[in-house]
Amino acid sequence: MGLKKKLFMIIGPVILAIILIVVILLAPVKYNFSSAKTEEKAAVSQSKNILGGSVIRQQALEDGYVPFIGSSEYSRMDSMHPSVLAKKYNRSYRPFLMGTGGTQSLTHYFDLQGIKDQIKNKKAVFIVSPQWFVPGGVSKQAFNMFYSPLQTTEWLLSANAKTESDQYAAKRFIALMSDGGNESILKAMQKIADGESLSGTDTNIFRMKLTILQHEDELFSGFSVPNRMQLIDRQTRNLPAKYDLATLDVLAGRFGAKGTTNNDFGIQNSYWTDRHLDGKGKFAGKQAKLNYDRSVEFSDFQLVLNQFSKEHTNVLFIIPPVNKRWSEYTGLSAEMLKNNATKITEQLKSQGFDHVADFSKRGNEKYFMADTIHLGWKGWVAVDRYVNPFLTQKQAKPDYHMDDYYYSKDWQQE
């Protein structure tokens, strides 16, 4: 066998494989391997792959799932969790959980870029947590952890460099993106931040990148999705066959009483033990200097509201409380928490976001909270009192009127 033939036998398959990969990633077709089973798993997985991708979420929302946007509160799956109630009582909707610990307004804003068509003229539920609103907003570490090249590229291709909202979004991205970020994306973001539109060359390059990223998402995002359906199914067995809010509230009290026996703060036993909260005086007064009412997060939140306004999405916003007994012990200011809820509500209602369930004053109710900051047994029942009718009954079409003042430092510090 000649040398050239030997070389071809060795190198040929590699070259063919590379060509095949390039063709697959650049082909103008859509690869959709999503199934009802995949959607069901993905909807409760809170997986980073799912949150950072688009194709599975798009298909699920088209199949009747509803975005439930927030952060770590969705991770506590007791019997009153929205996903459990929806399955047990065969609701006309299923929650698609979009958020986990560390996801805040700016991450959600970019995540929404992948499902814009699917939330247009539809409904969503959004839990906005007071602890997001520390002075600097989301941390660099958290933002980079959930950074999605796919959704960022989608945003760049639709950004309007002449609008204050897109200039603000670009500036925040640049401020938070780590030094190891994609250089071409950072350069494009700088153009938007400076009010300069992308060039034709920029646009063509990002369109090609988007095709590759979309195909990667279609081919790989469904792999290794955590299966939490057994947990959901197990929790449904604790519920009565017939839905009744009063009965569920009583049952929630029983579950709460049983699950909070090793401390005086109404905190779930496992959380109390795992977080080592039992040190004598360890946390006394430690949160006295925390501030949630002056923050850049209010302007990041405005980006999310602006996206909902563009898509005419009808949204139910939920403002959870913090555990009052714990906050009194740690010195977290009640006045500051009140100001936080007031400010969030003003920002929402002044722009036409009228569906607001403000639970900020209910942190002293037994079993409303599961731990220091997360909704508990009775808290989820209270949430369902709003969520179920909002999603199952016809709602008036929203009339939003956005105000760029909410991007200003004056509002952040007001």
| Strands 65-69 vs 123-127: parallel, antiparallel or unpaired | parallel
What pLDDT sits at residue 175?
Answer: 96
Q: Give the range among 26-35, 118-127, 165-174, 273-282 with minimum mean pLDDT.
A: 26-35
Q: What is the DSSP string of 342-362?
A: HHHHHHHHTTT---EEE-TT-
Position with higher pLDDT, 24 vs 246: 246
Number of C-beta neighbours around residue 383 at 10 A: 23
Q: Is 28 a residue whose pLDDT tops 60?
A: no
Burial per residue of 159-188, b for 16 or more beta-carbon CB atoms within 10 angstroms, e otherwise: beeeeebbbbbbbbbeebbeeebeeebeeb
Q: Is 205 a residue whose pLDDT tops 80?
A: yes
Classify burial at 354, counting beta carbons within 10 Å of its beta carbon; exposed 0-12, middle 13-18, buried 19 or more: middle
pLDDT average, residue stretch 161-181: 92
Q: Give the range among 162-171, 217-226, 237-246 with minimum mean pLDDT.
A: 217-226
pLDDT average, residue stretch 114-138: 98
Length of the chain counted residue by residue: 414
What pLDDT sits at residue 218?
Answer: 86
**Of the candidates 277, 302, 286, 271, the residue with the CA atom closest to the CA atom of residue 370:** 271
Cβ-Cβ contacts under 8 Å for 186 (sequence gap 6 or more):
174, 177
- Going across the sheet that includes 65-69, the strands are 94-98, 65-69, 123-127, 314-319, 356-358
Task: Provide the 3-class DSSP secondary structure of residue 89.
Answer: coil
345 and 358 in contact (C-beta within 8 Å)? yes
Task: Report yes or no on whether pTM surpasses 0.75.
Answer: yes
Q: Is 20 a residue whose pLDDT tops 50?
A: no
What pLDDT sits at residue 34?
Answer: 62
Q: Is 390 a residue whose pLDDT tops 80?
A: yes
DSSP state of 339: H
What pLDDT sits at residue 237?
Answer: 97
Q: Is 22 a residue whose pLDDT tops 80?
A: no
Name the region of 199 (left: φ>0; alpha: ψ -120 to 50; beta: rest).
beta
Burial per residue of 108-118, b for 16 or more beta-carbon CB atoms within 10 angstroms, e otherwise: bbbbbbbbbeb
Q: Give the range among 34-38, 95-99, 186-190, 340-344 with minimum mean pLDDT.
A: 34-38
Q: Is 89 a residue whose pLDDT tops 90?
A: yes
For the chain, the structural domain boundaries read 1-30, 31-413
Q: Tokens for 368? A: 């409303």
Which sign does the torsion angle of CA 94, 96, 101, 103 carry? negative
Q: Is 227 a residue whose pLDDT tops 80?
A: yes
| pLDDT tier, 74 (very low <50, low <70, confident <90, very high otherwise) | very high
Q: Count CA atoms closer than 13 A to 107's CA, side-chain side.
A: 28
What pLDDT sits at residue 150?
Answer: 96
Q: At what angle do helices 297-311 and 105-112 cross, to 10 degrees?
A: 20
Site of tokens 């088209």: 62
pLDDT average, residue stretch 213-238: 89
H/E element, 317: strand 314-319
DSSP state of 283: T
pLDDT tens sequence across 332-351: 999 999 999 999 999 999 99
**Of the candidates 310, 326, 341, 369, the residue with the CA atom closest to the CA atom of residue 112:** 310
